[in-house]
Amino acid sequence: MAPRRRIQDGDPPQGAVEEGQLVNVEVDQAGGNNAGAEVPNMAPNVDLGEAVMTLRQMMEENRKAMEENRQMMPESRRLIEEARAMAHQVNSQVDCLNSRVDRRLAQLCELVNKNTNDLGELRQLLNKPVLHTWDLSSDGRDFPNLESETLTYHPTVVVKVSSHAR
């Protein structure tokens, strides 16, 4: 491992290191801590001074980005709270609509059942022969031949017309 050396701002560029060699670099930040990092050298003749300047620039960009994020946090939190409130309101409305749909569906089921029962009763009535008797004339002269006539108006319903019934 290479010996550690302190590089100060304004130091002249240092010599090259061999490819693949790890170089221990310390970077001073104004008022900050010293941070040691091992940087792999990927190419021969790397200028350590330039690497340090690039690292400092990246650290400054990172610091600025972190500050922007900190400034945006209250707005982000506010937007998150608004989204939660809206989601809660939408969920409440959906629950209300679901309840209304459930009630309407129950009413429709009741109507369908009632209509089904009514249709069943109607079918039973229509399947029975029905005898209807009318008094068509007081003495039977208006329809003399209908005394024993039978008229069918439905395949399962028979109507008997008699002129003498009272």
Q: pLDDT by residue (tens digit) across 45-90?
A: 667 888 888 999 999 999 999 999 999 999 999 999 999 999 999 9
Other C-beta atoms within 10 Å of 21: how many? Answer: 14
Complete edge-to-edge strand list for the sheet that includes strand 35-40: 5-6, 22-27, 35-40
**pLDDT band at residue 5 under the 50/70/90 scheme:** low
Q: pLDDT by residue (tens digit) across 12-34?
A: 556 666 666 666 655 555 444 44
What is residue 125's predicted lDDT score, i.e. its pLDDT?
74
CA–CA separation, 53 vs 50, rounded Å? 5
The region that residue 140 occupies, defined by phi over 0 for left and psi between -120 and 50 for alpha, beta otherwise, is: left
Other C-beta atoms within 10 Å of 130: how many? Answer: 13
- Predicted TM-score (pTM) of the model is 0.35
Where does the chain show beta strands of DSSP type E?
5-6, 22-27, 35-40, 150-154, 157-160
What is residue 155's predicted lDDT score, i.e. its pLDDT?
42
Report domain extents, the chain. 5-70, 128-166
CA–CA separation, 142 vs 137, rounded Å? 6
State what percent of residues in the chain have pLDDT above 90: 31
What is residue 34's predicted lDDT score, i.e. its pLDDT?
43
DSSP state of 19: T
